[in-house]
Amino acid sequence: MAELDQENLHRDMTAWRHELHAHPEFGFEEKRTSAFVAQKLREFGLEVAEGVGGTGVVGTLTRGSGNRAIALRADMDALRIAEQGTMTYRSQTLGTMHACGHDGHTSMLLGAAKLLAGEGGFDGTVRFIFQPAEEWGRGALAMLNDGLLERFPFEEIFGLHNMPGLPVGHFETRAGPIMSAEDNFEIMLKGVGGHAARPHAGNETLVAACALVIALQTIVSRRLSPADIGVVSVTELITDGTRNALPGLARILGDARSFRPEVSAEIEKQMRRIAEGTAQAHNVSAEITYTREFVPLVNDATLVEEAFAAARSVLADNAVGVAAEPTTGSEDFARFLEHVPGCFVFLGNGDSAPLHNPSYDFNDEGLLHGARFHAAIARRRLPG
Ligand SMILES: [Zn+2]
Ligand SMILES: [Zn+2]
């Protein structure tokens, strides 16, 4: 089959990316986005299923007679962040923007679908998975719970994320844990509020809350092995106190990261012990809610080597490297890896604003690299 004109493909992908960027949609609200994706996939000649796990889309492309199947995945959702960029294609939806580059990821996977549909070069089935609600950590589960693996079976899965600070055209990944679990917690302290002039007459909660915020910092420094990675961050402290009045309620909210389920369990256990003990010392009560939002992302060692080989076939040899250390960011892609082996990789976004920043924008110069990596790994895993 004829080789697609790379310049034309890049122009198409840039136009798709700008269209998606101008119309960002929050998790599970990606109606316009998924309709756009489905229409493009049909144009390229793929079989398309919509509404998988809410607003998810699955495209299927089969060539030859091979019965192996692999999956390539992109995320489609945006964030509730007010964009500060002034480009012509800036968000037209107030307070919502593509601040994580999922517009770029979607466009890259569409580019890969067009490449593979036009040029072939593989034997078997490629599933193109466009998932909703990555930022919530709910979209992959929604697709899995909707029978993704039974209805559209595949044996392995690959995904990517752009990385600000890494030069465009550069590629990184590593074997084993590469992104962390994210747990959320909420500790509600309940006492008796009252007049600011008469603290002894009640059991106010603010001093207890402050002591607890400091005490929680000892979980990582004094309870985890120095060989383990963990983060405990208190992000909010809210009370019902006001001028002249001491609070009877204090809510402490936060976020914990880890790379092993045992570490996550230990953080929760120590948090409960410290919260209950601190509350008792201050004569107030503590209610603790601890939830697991994202699981650790663990790359398969063999497929990491395959991803490196695929990357070297489409990128400069010296631009393909091992990620020096795991990141404490989290990724919903990890849910797929609980069922099938796979590999998640990072592609350079150049000198852009950081992810989730109101000035962030995906770098269009990287679009073709992503599409070509996706196509290369599919061809490598399904040799024709
Ligand atoms: Zn994000
Ligand atoms: Zn993201």
Give me the pLDDT at residue 384, please.
Answer: 86
% of residues, the chain, pLDDT over 90: 96
Nearest CA among 111, 157, 131 for reference residue 56: 131
C-alpha span between 161 and 127 (Å, rounded): 18
Question: Mean pLDDT across the stretch 48-53?
Answer: 98
Ligand 2 centre to CA of 379 (Å) is 25
Ligand 1 centre to CA of 235 (Å) is 18
Question: Mean pLDDT across the stretch 81-98?
Answer: 97
Ligand 1 centre to CA of 99 (Å) is 7
User: Which has more confidence, 324 or 350?
Assistant: 350
Give me the pLDDT at residue 345, please.
Answer: 97
Assign 2 a pLDDT band (cuts: 50, 70, 90). low
- Ion ligand 1 nearby residues (CB, 5 A): 100
Each residue's pLDDT tens digit, 137-149: 999 999 999 999 9
Each residue's pLDDT tens digit, 184-195: 999 999 999 999
Give me the pLDDT at residue 325, please.
Answer: 84
Ligand 2 centre to CA of 51 (Å) is 21
Query: For residue 101, which ligand has an atom nearest its CA?
Result: 2
Ligand 2 centre to CA of 318 (Å) is 25
Sequence-separated (6 or more) residues with CB below 8 Å from residue 22: 89, 90, 91, 92
The overall average pLDDT reported for the chain is 96
Give me the pLDDT at residue 323, please.
Answer: 82
Ligand 1 centre to CA of 329 (Å) is 9
Give me the pLDDT at residue 55, please.
Answer: 98
Question: Mean pLDDT across the stretch 132-136?
Answer: 96
How far from the centroid of its chain's Cα atoms is residue 22's Cα?
Answer: 21
Give me the pLDDT at residue 1, please.
Answer: 46
Nearest CA among 14, 45, 109 for reference residue 374: 109
Q: Which tokens sit at 123?
A: 């034997």
Each residue's pLDDT tens digit, 343-371: 999 999 999 999 999 999 999 999 999 99
Ligand 2 centre to CA of 156 (Å) is 21
Ligand 1 centre to CA of 25 (Å) is 13
Backbone angles phi, psi at 269, to 5 degrees: -60, -45
Ligand 2 centre to CA of 73 (Å) is 12
The model's pTM is 0.91
Give me the pLDDT at residue 324, please.
Answer: 73
Ligand 1 centre to CA of 96 (Å) is 13
Give me the pLDDT at residue 3, please.
Answer: 61
Reply yes or no on whether the pLDDT at 197 is more than 60.
Answer: yes
